[in-house]
């Protein structure tokens, strides 16, 4: 059983087709995370969804620019998202904490050390760190590709036993996931970029990433000794597989 994890949950797992928060599924994921904590697993949650949360409570006039819209939606949505996480984790007797980051925080040694010390203190006190990109100030060169990249950097920083990336598909397929005959690829070797030939460059309406990004982050993370598990965050009790070691999705081996 893994002792330490980074679990990244994507926008398409946390939101409904209209882009608003899927509270039922978020609640189910928190229940599973609480179950992992109960058996002694130390974990960090990297969560998308702030922009979707902002969409629930704000609309814009037509003359508002796209960048400004994202900044505003993220700023107000992060508060909504964290309050939801606070309530859901509290129902299990757990505290959670917000950690917002930009790519610059990992490039600067002082910022990186401060972040590492914060993570260590939170995990020592059994608090669940909830990490997201700081979309309010992260523009152009400060932006991560998406939260998959952020999750990979956090996993490396903490040297966890595994990185879990949850999306709305079971993992990497050798064809379109919804096509008859497509087979799930159960294992990928670290650094094996040849599997990118199977990737469908399709993104969800509200997410920034796609399977190509996930595979690139997964293979690079696995190449430094951290296995990466790709799975379906909408599958009931998907995180329970982490207790048995029988992962139902794709494993990128360390």
**DSSP per position, 196-216:** GGG------SS-S--HHHHHH
pTM over 0.95: no
Q: Which residues contact 7 (CB under 8 A, 6 or more apart)?
A: 33, 43, 44, 45, 46, 164, 166, 239
pLDDT greater than 90 at residue 141: no
Identify whether the C-beta of residue 160 lies closer than 8 Å to the C-beta of residue 6: yes
Measure CA 69 to chain center.
22
Measured at the alpha carbon of residue 41, what is the angle toward residues 37 and 46, in degrees to the nearest 5?
A: 80
**Dihedral sign, CA of 65, 66, 69, 71?**
negative
Measured at the alpha carbon of residue 36, what is the angle toward residues 53 and 144, in degrees to the nearest 5?
A: 45
168 annotated ligand-binding residue: no
3-class secondary structure, 252: strand
* Segment of 7-16, 59-68, 236-245 carrying the highest mean pLDDT: 7-16
* CA distances, 66 to each of 25, 60, 70, 115, 116 (Å): 28, 10, 6, 30, 33
188-213 pLDDT tens trace = 887 776 676 677 555 544 444 478 88
pLDDT of residue 83: 96
208-234 pLDDT tens trace = 447 888 888 999 999 999 999 999 999
240 annotated ligand-binding residue: no
3-class secondary structure, 250: strand
Q: Which residues contact 224 (CB under 8 A, 6 or more apart)?
A: 156
Domain boundaries, the chain: 4-252
193 annotated ligand-binding residue: no
3-class secondary structure, 246: coil
CA atoms in the 13 A half-sphere facing the CB of 63: 0
The stretch 133-159 carries a mean pLDDT of: 81
Rg (CA), the chain: 17
Say how far apart CA 48 and CA 165 lie, in whole Å.
12
Say how far apart CA 21 and CA 39 lie, in whole Å.
28
pLDDT greater than 50 at residue 114: yes
- 4-252 has which CATH code? 3.40.1160.10
147 annotated ligand-binding residue: yes
What mean pLDDT is reported for the chain? 88
pLDDT greater than 60 at residue 95: yes
């Amino acid at each position: 059983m893994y002792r330490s994890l980074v679990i990244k949950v994507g926008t398409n797992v946390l939101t409904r087709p209209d882009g608003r928060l899927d509270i039922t599924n978020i609640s189910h994921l928190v229940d599973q995370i609480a179950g992992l904590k109960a058996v002694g697993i130390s974990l960090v949650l990297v969560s998308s969804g702030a922009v979707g949360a902002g969409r629930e409570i704000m609309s814009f006039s037509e003359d508002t620019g796209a960048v400004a819209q994202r900044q505003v939606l993220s700023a107000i949505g992060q508060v909504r998202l964290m309050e939801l996480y606070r309530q859901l984790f509290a129902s299990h007797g757990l505290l959670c904490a917000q950690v917002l980051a930009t790519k610059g925080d990992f490039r600067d040694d002082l910022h990186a050390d401060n972040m590492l010390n914060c993570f260590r203190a939170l995990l020592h006190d059994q608090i669940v760190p909830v990490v997201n990109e700081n979309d309010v100030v992260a523009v152009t060169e400060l932006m991560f590709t998406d939260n998959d990249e952020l999750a990979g950097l956090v996993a490396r920083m903490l040297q966890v036993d595994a990185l879990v990336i949850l999306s709305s598909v079971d993992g990497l397929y050798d064809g379109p996931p919804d096509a008859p005959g497509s087979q799930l690829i159960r294992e990928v070797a670290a650094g094996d970029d040849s599997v990118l030939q199977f990737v469908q460059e399709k993104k969800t309406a509200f997410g920034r990433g796609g399977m190509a990004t996930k595979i690139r982050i997964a293979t690079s993370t696995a190449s430094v000794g951290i296995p990466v598990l790709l799975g379906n965050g909408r599958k009931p009790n998907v995180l329970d597989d982490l207790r048995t070691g029988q992962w139902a999705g794709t494993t990128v081996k360390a």
